Structure 1
Amino acid sequence: MPKVAYSEEDRRRVREELLTTALKLMSTQGIQHTTVEQVYRSVGISRSFFYAFFPTKEDLIVEALYLQQPRLLEYARSRMEDPAISWREGVRQFLDTCCYGGRNGVAVLSVDEQQMLFQRLSEESFRTFRTRQRQLFEGILESFGIAPEPDRVDLFINLSLAVIVLSRAIPQTLPMFVPDAARESTAFQIRCIVDWLESLREQPGEQH
Structure 2
Amino acid sequence: MATAFTESEKEQIRKKLMEAAEDCLGKYGVKKTTVDQLVQMAGISKGAFYQFFPSKEILFFKVLEEFQVSLMAEGMSVQQASGERTAEAFSEFLYSIYQRVRHSFLMNIIQNGEMDLLMRKIPVEEIARHHSFDDLIAQNLFSDFNIGSDPHVAAASLRAIFLSMLHVKEIGEEHFDGALEMLIHGIALQLMGEDAGDE
Task: Show the counterpart of 1:54.
Answer: 53
The answer to whether residue 121 in structure 2 is matched with residue 130 in structure 1 is no
Q: Aligned letter for 2:92?
A: E
Q: CA deviation at 1:27?
A: 3.9
Query: Alpha carbon RMSD of aligned pairs, Å?
Result: 3.1
The answer to whether residue 157 in structure 2 is matched with residue 166 in structure 1 is no
Greater RCO structure (CA 8 Å; 6+ sep): 2
Q: Deviations over 1:8-62 (max 9, x none)?
A: 2212221122123212332454333333222211111111111221121122122
What percent of counterpart residues are identical? Answer: 18
Gaps of 5+ in 1: none
Task: Show the counterpart of 1:91.
Answer: 94
The answer to whether residue 63 in structure 2 is matched with residue 64 in structure 1 is yes
TM-score using structure 1 length: 0.72
Distance 1:64 1:137 in 2: 19
TM-score using structure 2 length: 0.75
Q: Deviations over 1:125-172 (max 9, x none)?
A: 23222222333344444455534523222222212322x2123xx2xx
Q: Aligned letter for 1:96?
A: Q
Q: Given the superposition, is the C-alpha separation of residues 101 and 92 from structure 1 closer, same or farther in structure 2, using an over 3 Å criterion?
A: same
Q: Deviations over 1:68-121 (max 9, x none)?
A: 2320211321342454x972433322222223323xxx5675384233223223
Is 2:109–2:115's contact at 8 Å kept on the other side of the alignment?
yes
Q: Given the superposition, is the C-alpha separation of residues 107 and 182 from structure 1 closer, same or farther in structure 2, using an over 3 Å criterion?
A: closer
Q: Given the superposition, is the C-alpha separation of residues 148 and 21 from structure 1 closer, same or farther in structure 2, using an over 3 Å criterion?
A: farther
Q: 2:188 aligns with which of 173, 197, 205?
A: 197
Task: Show the counterpart of 2:115.
Answer: 114
Task: Give the helix-richer structure, 1 or 2.
Answer: 2
